[in-house]
Amino acid sequence: MKNLFYLLLLCVFFQSETFNEKIFNDFTSNSRYLKISIKSSEYNGICVIENDDLFLYYTLKYNKGKTEYLNFIKGFFSAKEILDLGNEKPEKWNFKKVLDDKKVNQNLKKGLNKFINIYFNKNLVERGKTTENQKALIIKILFDHNKACSIDDETGFLIIRK
């Protein structure tokens, strides 16, 4: 019984690592979103950002490449650090602020599967009935449940990636 527990714990650990690795290694345009804590002169809190946009920020700010970025982002997430933007506005780098939304939170209380069915169709494409603020919160919630999202190239809608 004890061995089964350790096996399950190991599987959960590798699953979350795989989830993060997929996001960190996605450098395509419209890459997967990740959740990140930031602080700036105008906002301190949680944001979501596409990995390729965070990579662009990192390369322009620190003049480093992919290998250094991957080492940075893995360490950053392991330590649960806060990214300091200084006086720069989060929007300049495509950070989307995650703000509370009563309706989205009420829908989450119905369970994750129902939540997904409310906002996404059977093909896991957004139904298109959300505001930008709601979309950022939905991305954050899904990220917290190891569900990666990106923007669909054709429709411009949010999609859940497998």
pLDDT tens track for 67-120: 999 999 998 988 889 999 999 999 999 999 999 999 999 999 999 999 999 999
pTM, two decimals, is: 0.86
- Are 32 and 52 spatial neighbours (Cβ–Cβ below 8 Å)? no
Q: What is the mean pLDDT of the chain?
A: 89
- Which of the 8 DSSP states describes residue 120? B
Percent of the chain with pLDDT over 90: 77
Beta bridge partners of 37: 46, 82
Residues 107 and 72 in one domain: no
Residues 85 and 130 in one domain: no
pLDDT tens track for 2-26: 444 444 444 444 444 588 899 999 9
Domain count, the chain: 2
| Range of the structural domain that residue 57 is part of | 27-97
- Are 135 and 33 spatial neighbours (Cβ–Cβ below 8 Å)? no
